[in-house]
Amino acid sequence: GAVVSQHPSWVICKSGTSVKIECRSLDFQATTMFWYRQFPKQSLMLMATSNEGSKATYEQGVEKDKFLINHASLTLSTLTVTSAHPEDSSFYICSASPTSGVSGGYFGPGTRLTVL
C-alpha cells in the first residue's frame, strides 16, 4: 500500500526553540495533507489541512503563527512548531491523500515531540 513517512520520529527540544517535522508521501503524489495532534490516551485532533502550493487551512483554536505549515510539493509537507513550550509536547501525525482521491488518506507513523 501507499507509504507516508515522517521525520524525525522523535525529537526533544528546549523551550523556546523551533522544531520542524517533515511528512513525505513516498510512492504517490498528495494534493492534500493533514496534520493531526494526539494527546496521550486521547483521539487525534485535526490541526490543519494543507494543499500543495497554497496556504494551509487551520482548525478553530489552532494558532497559525505557532504551527507553521508548508506544502511545497506534491510529496512533502512540513510542520514547524515555533517557540515551543512544554504544553506543545505531543504526538504529531500527518496523513496524505493521493491526487486520485482516496477516502481517509494514508497516515504517517507520527512524530513524538517533547519540549523540556
Partner 1 sequence: GDSVTQMEGPVTLSEEAFLTINCTYTATGYPSLFWYVQYPGEGLQLLLKATKADDKGSNKGFEATYRKETTSFHLEKGSVQVSDSAVYFCALTRGTDKLIFGTGTRLQVFP
Strand 19-25, strand 4-7: pairing: antiparallel
Residues contacting residue 114 through CB under 8 Å, at least 6 positions apart: 10, 11, 12, 13, 89
Residues contacting residue 10 through CB under 8 Å, at least 6 positions apart: 111, 112, 114
The total of other beta-carbon atoms located within 10 Å of residue 113's CB is 21
| Least spacing, CB of residue 31 vs partner 1, in Å | 10
Q: Which of 24, 28, 78, 110 binds partner 1 (CB under 8 A)?
A: 110
Judged by CB under 8 A, the chain residues 19 through 78 that form the site for partner 1 are: 32, 34, 41-46, 49
Compare residues 64 and 85 and give the one whose CB is closer to partner 1.
Answer: 64
The x, y and z cell numbers of residue 8, run together, are 524525525
Compare residues 42 and 73 and give the one whose CB is closer to partner 1.
Answer: 42
Interacting span for partner 1 (CB under 8 A) from 12-20, 63-71, 78-86, 89-97? 89-97
Using CB under 8 A as the criterion, which residues of the chain lie in contact with partner 1 when the complex forms?
4, 6, 32, 34, 41-46, 49, 93, 95, 97, 102-110
